[in-house]
Amino acid sequence: MREPRLDLLVLADLHYALPNRPEAAAEPLRKMAWGRLLFRKVLRRVRHMGRWPDALVLLGDLVEDGGAADAESLLKGLAAEAEEAGLFVLAVAGNHDPTDDSVARVFDSPTGFREFGGYGFLLIRDEVGPGDFAARPPGDLVLPVQAARAHPDLPLVAVQHNPIFPPIESSYPFLPTNAEAIAECYEEAGVILSLSGHYHCGNGPIQRGPTLYRTTPALCESPFRFDYVRLRGRRVEVETHALRLEVPGLTDVHCHTELAYCATTVRAEENVAISRAMGVSQICLTEHAFQLYMPEEEAWSFRWQTDRPMAERCLAGPTRMEAYRALAGVWRGDASVRIGLEVDWREGEGWLLRPGDADGWDLLVGGVHLLPGYTRETVRKAKRAELERLFIRQVEDLLSKGISVLAHPFRIFIRWGLEEPTALHDRLVEMLKAADTAAEINFHDHPTSDRFYRECLVQGVRLALGTDSHDLSEVGELFPHLEVLKRIGVDPTTETDRLFRLS
């Protein structure tokens, strides 16, 4: 019989609360307002790691104030994220969560024994009294032994909020008062893994008898850690990951703002705060010029690329370029924030910019977002040579205008379901080198292959890291970019000359 195998994504202590709650001022290290955002960022990170769990384990203190009127609504927001991701959830409540069964009900995760994926899970909510002293009632204390007798072939995993082992030297009662009795029951039942939260620093993993004890750190506090657990039969592997990247000098050259039509949740102020929290040293707010100039319907038509009268009419105004310059003015003088434009090609002009609008920015990024005359539906009938000619023409014109970074190289081909034109790699690298323009590593969608970036390095073309954030869950997420650098042999801490950075 094949041994069971299960991957668990484990999160603890989100302490989710709406912004401007008084608790936030009392606990400044806890990013309570980011509870749902951090949840989404973890899911994005796991995808970038090339993993996907079989189940999500939530270890309590999911909200900051379980007695607040909005507590259940906040829990439902977290549950909606898990449901959208298609995750099976095993959740227990903590001492900050509602005292009723809201957690069990919202996440469809009743306490007690639950079988899933060839394992037996013991979901236990210990009783909490005055002073946050917790204790396990007698009925739950014997649950592991009862489960082991009833299901002798199932490896058992215990899930609770309070740590059980090892002891923690503190005046605050992190462990239940009968923690030793609980550990003895786990040993008797042969529990292979005990998962807890509550102690924000985290603890373990540490072995005691047959049981590996792990206290998962709090997600709500920097560096925003979470666990990824692999169960293989009775073997347990625990990996701990952090959303915050500890790489000095990281620069994100491409982060959108609330002025983008294509934006979902990004806002300049939050972009800056989140990027800093995620370890990004410098962020460039970089907005689409065409979206600042055009009404939304006209912008998305892309007719302005070749329809000169239409483009001139829109450029004559009114536009939102002045609003973007006003937003930029808020951040002038902050060395960690730069302001740029993402510019597009326009027939006969090289780019879509009014006279003078190229001035005053820290960065100009050029992007190819459409090949004129084609759509996703018609492009498959086109001759490949013609598509490549149109692409190169746009890039040549943008480079001739002096852009510093070419955004998401070749993405237009991949987005339209075509193969990346590897035959163009050498030519594009030569063009970038001649123009002293960096190539952007971009994971917003449809990333360019490592092969192209290797060729850039060989020819001395610098690489720029850009999140191309349209959603707050993307902001500051440079993990996949660093993975590319690792795969192509670049150390971002020592080989800084290979990377594009803003002065």
Give dist(CA 69, CA 59) in Å, integer: 22
Confidence of residue 376 (pLDDT cuts 50, 70, 90): confident
pLDDT at 281 over 70: yes
Task: Give how many domains the chain has, as a whole number.
Answer: 2
Q: What phi and psi values does residue 237 have, to the nearest 5 degrees?
A: -125, 130
Q: What percent of the chain has pLDDT over 70?
A: 99
* CATH classification of the domain holding 479: 3.20.20.140
pLDDT at 74 over 70: yes
Q: Please indicate, yes or no, if residue 23 is contained in any of the structural domains.
A: yes
Is the domain of 424 the same as that of 340? yes
Q: What phi and psi values does residue 338 have, to the nearest 5 degrees?
A: -125, 160
User: Of the candidates 216, 242, 268, which is a domain's last residue?
Assistant: 242
Give dist(CA 223, CA 195) in Å, integer: 20
Is the domain of 226 the same as that of 280? no
* CATH classification of the domain holding 187: 3.60.21.10
Task: Determine which of 5-14, 236-245, 494-503 has the lowest per-residue pLDDT on average.
Answer: 494-503
pLDDT at 24 over 80: no
| pLDDT recorded at residue 144 | 98
| Structure tokens that stand for 450 in this block | 């490592």
| pLDDT recorded at residue 25 | 67
- Do the beta carbons of residue 448 and residue 426 sit within 8 Å? no
User: Of the candidates 242, 261, 285, which is a domain's last residue?
Assistant: 242
pLDDT at 23 over 80: no
Q: Please indicate, yes or no, if residue 503 is contained in any of the structural domains.
A: no
At residue 125's C-alpha, the angle toward residues 119 and 131, to 5°, is 150
Is the domain of 207 the same as that of 274? no
For 92-125, how does the pLDDT look when each residue is reduced to its tens digit (9 = 90+)? Answer: 999 999 999 999 999 999 999 999 999 999 999 9
**Which range of residues forms the domain containing residue 395?**
251-498
pLDDT at 435 over 90: yes
For 36-64, how does the pLDDT look when each residue is reduced to its tens digit (9 = 90+)? Answer: 999 999 999 999 999 999 999 999 999 99
| pLDDT recorded at residue 455 | 97
CA neighbor of 184 nearest in space, from 216, 158, 150, 153: 158
Q: What is the mean pLDDT of residues 243-262?
A: 97
| pLDDT recorded at residue 119 | 98
Is the domain of 238 the same as that of 257? no
User: Of the candidates 242, 269, 286, which is a domain's last residue?
Assistant: 242
Q: What is the mean pLDDT of residues 135-162?
A: 97
Give dist(CA 458, CA 460) in Å, integer: 6
Give dist(CA 58, CA 67) in Å, integer: 19
| pLDDT recorded at residue 173 | 96
